[in-house]
Every structure is written in C-alpha cells, then in structure tokens.
A and B are shown apart, each in its own frame.
Chain A
C-alpha cells in the first residue's frame, strides 16, 4: 500500500488509487471536470494539475497513481496559476448564459472560477456558436455552446449503459457533443448525464426553468419505483412555491451507494414522482352517501372502520395490502390483523400488463417493498380473497393502493365483486376507479411526505425520509392504522415511524437487531441476507457492444 504525502499530510492508500482520490481522503479537493470515479480516465480538462516533487511540470492528478514516497503539492503558486489559466481556456468560448441557465448555483464553471479564476476576461472576438436548446430524447436538453467537452456523458453512454448514443463530432473548437443525427437518447438512464454534466450543457427537460437551485431543500430518501430501492436525494421547492405551479418536488437525484445503485438511477424512477402533486391526490377522508362520495373527517372515517372491524367475524374480513407500503405500515397492518384475528391478508394482486427488468438497475417488480411484505408475513392468497368477494362471502375489505379495475379484461366482473362487499375501505395516495366504489376512503401520505423503511429485493432495509408535509388529511399508513387500533381499544405504540420499526425489529426475526441508527444512510441487510454490491453496468460487462 503506497504511502504518500499531500500538502504535508501523510496517507496510505490502496495500490491503484489516483491522486484525486487520495487527496479527497485527506479532505483536499483537487478541482476537476472530466474525471469521474465510475468512468475511464480522459485527461481532457487539464484542470486537475498538481505539483509532484521530482517532476518538472505540473501533472494531471487523475492519471497519476499514488506511489510510495510521492510528495504532492496542490496549493503551490504554480498550481494556482495553472488552474487560473485552465479556467480562462474553459471560458474562452463559453456563452454568458448564467441568467437563463438552470445550472447556475451548481455550475462548476462558476464555482471554480470563483475559487481559482477571478481574472479579467480578455476574449473580445466572436465566440464559436453551436446548437442551443436541442432535445436529446424525452428527458435531456443539450446546449452545445455551454459544453466544455469533458466527455463524461459520452463515456457514460459507452461504459455504463453500453448504448453509445453520444459522440464528439468534428474537431478543434468546432468539436460538438451530439447524437447520431436522427437518433434519440432513449436509454433508461438518460437522466444521469444531467447529473454528471458539470455545466449547463446537459440539463433536465422536466426541471427546465422550474426554480433556481439555491431555493431547493434536499432530503435523503429511497426511490419507490421498483424493488431495487436506489438511493436518492429529494429536492423540494418550499421557498418559491409561486414558481412551481403547485409542484413541491422539484426533482430527484441519485445518491451514491456502493451496495445498491452506485451513482445512478433509472429514468422510470427519476421521473416517476409527478403523482405526488397531481390533482388526483386524495387529501381528505371520504364517506359514501348513496352513490356519492363526500368529504368527512379522518376521525369519522377511522371510527367507521373501527366499528366495522368490531361488527364482522374475522373470516368475513380481508385486507389487500400493498407492496408500496413501508415496513412500518405493513407491520402496523399485521398488528391490526392479529388484534382482530383477520387471516385473509395478501398483497400480490395480479397486475395489468407486464413489466420487465432492464439490464441494469430497474427491476420487473415495480414495488419498493415486496420483500418487506413477504418477511412481515402478509403473503396470503389474493386470488382467494377476490374469489370470496365475488362469492359474496366478504363483508369487509380494506384495499391499500391497488386499482382492481385498472385495464383488466375482467374489470366488470371485479366491479360486481367489489360491490358485493358490505364495507369497502380504500386507502391510497391518488384517486383511482376502485376508490369510487369504496364506502370509506382514508387518504395516505405519499413517500416524500413521511418517514419509513423499505426492504429491497436483496433484503436491504433502507430509510426514506419526509421531505414535505402531507397534503390535507393524508397520513402515513402506520398512522392511519394506528388510529384504527386506538379506536378499537388497542393502544398503538407509536407516534413516529421509528417506534413502529422498533416493534418490528423486536417481533419479526428477519429484522432482529436492526435500528434506524444502524440503517443510517446506506441501509442494512435483514438477518441472513448476504451483503451486496451494485450490479456491473452493461457497458462494462464482457462483450459489451460499444467502446469509444
């Protein structure tokens, strides 16, 4: 393990560590653009120069491996002057788009110019002009003038997705990032190129002109789009709501987790949060009055459900839980079932249409907590429950999230079945056709509005966190169920999700020993599950199709 000195501090690193990484471990930032830990070394931006003793000229840090006895200086006058020079080179043809560029505030040209540039610009000739506002597929917008040609996006499409859509065409200062004319950036990871673009060349079409980034708050969370549970940050706009047209969640960004998703998230998850602020959100409890559903108070709805649970015999009752619910929600449900003796509980409702794994992160199972629902013991006979409804043997059915009438060929039959249930209760975030049949509706808070954990398909328990307040009377599942338990005379232990998790960890053996603190920001495996690493990206597998 080479031992080297950087800015007077000694450090020992694994063989094969480059100087940017080595410096980072000491908390020393070496400015750079083209380097990215997941991608091959490009050595193009020339910004990461450092002084190494016994080397006559400054050297790029990204392509220099730590060697035993190496002495590195990142703050010499010569290095500082070189950085200033490199900033000038980068800005020669860069358009002064800051006032209209989404990247402002998180732009590495701005940041490094303020840190290392601060020179008077002297380029007074006409800058090179290139295409602006070019859509690259449904999610990404290209501004070729702003591009600093670091090639991260090109290398991403080659080495991560293995799809090779992007290239750098022409040469000299007419070099240009682009797609093959007529093609689209259509892989399921296109949004990631926006993350890795250091400047405003590649921006998110969904986020375009929404809100300035310095107004955003960030919360660590987990994407609920599939059973992978990619780690993410939720960026919300609370400070400038008048810019957001009612949209509180501004965007989602992947959060690095070596064991799950590395640096990436798929487009399905990234752009799948529109439902959170959609007008179809259910924000108040509802009760059926004849053929209409009218608003009621949550307390009234809770009382009605608790009453129904007392009236009916256990075998006349059933619950269709949802694998979109958190471990806490599902455990509370399990408690409720035990308390009332309900054994007809299931969550695997047959879905309309088939989803598939993609060849990287996205799982065919588009639910974040199937594994949690299995481990907590809610994997009953959904078909049997639906058969009982059709046969008129169900008096009480509480459906979480599912839309049993969605696009199914047998929707008419299902409608009849549900209409035979004396007390149909529906809980979920967004109104659907099944809700319209319910006698009581108890609204649920969306994942960005509450705390909780999901268990991914590999058995990793990961925390997601509330980033915004729930809308109206919508509440977390464990909260709603807890109120029902309370109204049924059973004190429920928790005012917070964490309390429910503690109960879960004490009760279900797979979760023994786990805690929110232990889960932290990277998650923890359930008992017996092997530790995981993020899958090898398609572009790096043997026989991958395209290389630059």
Chain B
C-alpha cells in the first residue's frame, strides 16, 4: 500500500472488529464502519471503499453499491460544514423555497455544490422529520429549526 492509501489506526481496527462482532454476520457492521471511515478520512473515496471492502471480504463493487445508495455518504470531498435544507411538504408549505433561494444567494452555489473556499456544502434534502418547526435545516449534526432569512444569515455566519 502506498503512503497515501487510507488506513485505520490499530485502535480503529480493534473497533472495526468489535463492531463486526456485534452482528450475527459481520457484514452488518458495514454501515457503522463506513460512517467511521467518513469521519476519519473526510469522505468515502474509491480508495476508502476498496480498503473497507478488504476489511469485510467483500468485492469493492458491493461496497460501492452501498456507498452510492445512501445520501449521507459523500463520494467527493465535502465542505467543512454541510447545510442541508429540507424541501419536503411541510417545509414547502412553510416557505422552504424562499429559504433555499436565500442560501443560494448568500453562498453563490446551487444545492449539491460546495463553496470555493471549502467551507460549506449546500444540499436540498427530503423530510428530516422536524415538520413542527418548519422550515428547517440540518447543519452538520444539529437540527436548526424555525428558520427565517435572518436566522439563516446568523447560522451561516457562524460557520467557519
């Protein structure tokens, strides 16, 4: 393996084995390990997929299937922050299109894109199940509720 090839530390490998042991078939640990890989390497590149495939005795194609199926795995480098604005039904009724347009105008990018400086990846996403506080977004690990243009500005400003 070359120096740039992804690799878990010894502790992480122990954690991989522990996770694999929790499931009747170790393949059940694939999603947790992919989350771990994304947290470690920033995103799930093809090299990471091959590496993880090796840890599970799976073909790389089958790991690629899983990574391309789920929306939370990034196959390209993502921004330091992810701003995911819900555009599903209740948020739509509460003004999500305006919020989306506002974010687009502030950041100068379309949903699906990342700002030039690598600060923010902007997404339009499906129901996050916080409809009582629509319109809302998920920023990194947090739900940000009851958005207004002003609140959006404050939130974006705070993202470094």
Residues of A at the B interface (CB closer than 8 Å) are: 163-171, 178-183, 545-546, 548
Contact = CB atoms under 8 A, between A and B. Distances in A.
A182 B46 CA distance: 9
A167 B64 contact: yes
B24 interface: no
Given A163-B59, A545-B57, A169 B46 contact: no
Contacts of B62: 164, 167, 546, 548
B69 A171 contact: yes
Query: Which secondary structure dominates chain B's binding surface?
Result: helix
B117 interface: no
A546 B60 CA distance: 10
B69 A181 contact: no
B59 A169 contact: no
Given A181-B46, A182-B46, A169 B60 contact: no
B56 to A, nearest CB: 10
A180 B68 contact: no
Contacts of A163: 59
Nearest to B66: A167
Interface of B: 46, 49-50, 57-62, 64-65, 68-69
Contacts of B68: 169-171
A315 to B, nearest CB: 60
Contacts of A168: 65
Query: Which secondary structure dominates chain A's binding surface?
Result: loop
Contacts of A182: 46
A180 B66 CA distance: 12
Contact of B61 (A167, A170, A171, A545): A167
A165 B65 contact: no
A164 B46 contact: no
A164 B61 contact: yes
Contact of A180 (B57, B61, B69): B61
B58 A180 contact: no
A215 to B, nearest CB: 36
Given A169-B64, A546-B62, 7 more contacts: A164-B59, A165-B59, A167-B65, A170-B68, A171-B68, A183-B61, A545-B57
Contacts of B60: 180, 183
A170 B69 CA distance: 5
Contacts, number: 43
A163 B60 CA distance: 10
Nearest to B46: A181
Contact of A181 (B57, B58, B64, B65): B64
A200 to B, nearest CB: 22
Contacts of B57: 545-546
14 contacts: A165-B59, A166-B61, A167-B62, A168-B65, A178-B61, A180-B46, A180-B49, A180-B59, A180-B60, A180-B61, A181-B64, A546-B57, A546-B59, A546-B62
Contact of A165 (B46, B61, B69): B61
A168 B58 CA distance: 15
A475 to B, nearest CB: 49
Contacts of A183: 60-61
Of A163, A179, A545, A546, chain B has the most CB atoms within 10 Å of the CB of: A546
A171 B73 CA distance: 14
Nearest to B71: A171
Nearest to A546: B59
Contacts of B64: 167, 169, 180-181
Of B64, B65, B69, chain A has the most CB atoms within 10 Å of the CB of: B65
B4 to A, nearest CB: 16
Nearest to B60: A180
A130 to B, nearest CB: 13
B51 to A, nearest CB: 13
A545 B61 CA distance: 13
Nearest to B57: A545
A163 B59 CA distance: 7
Nearest to A168: B65
Contacts of A180: 46, 49-50, 59-61, 64
A178 B50 CA distance: 16
A37 to B, nearest CB: 24
A181 B60 CA distance: 9
A180 B75 CA distance: 13
B46 A546 contact: no
A548 B49 CA distance: 16
B43 to A, nearest CB: 15
Nearest to A179: B61
A548 B63 CA distance: 10
A179 B61 CA distance: 6
Nearest to B70: A171
A257 B58 CA distance: 31
B58 to A, nearest CB: 6
Contacts of B46: 180-182
Nearest to A176: B68
A166 to B, nearest CB: 6
B98 to A, nearest CB: 27
Contacts of A164: 58-59, 61-62
Contacts of A170: 68-69
A171 B65 CA distance: 9
A546 B69 contact: no
A178 B46 CA distance: 14
B75 to A, nearest CB: 10
Contacts of A546: 57-59, 62
Give 5 nearest A-B pairs by CB, closest first: A164-B59, A167-B61, A180-B60, A167-B65, A169-B68
Contacts of A178: 61
A310 B46 CA distance: 72
A180 B68 CA distance: 11
A169 B58 contact: no
A292 to B, nearest CB: 57
Of A169, A170, A178, chain B has the most CB atoms within 10 Å of the CB of: A169
B28 to A, nearest CB: 13
A167 B50 CA distance: 14
A166 B50 CA distance: 14
A165 B59 CA distance: 7
Contacts of B50: 180
Contacts of A165: 59, 61
A342 B50 CA distance: 62
A166 B61 CA distance: 6
A521 to B, nearest CB: 36
Nearest to B27: A547
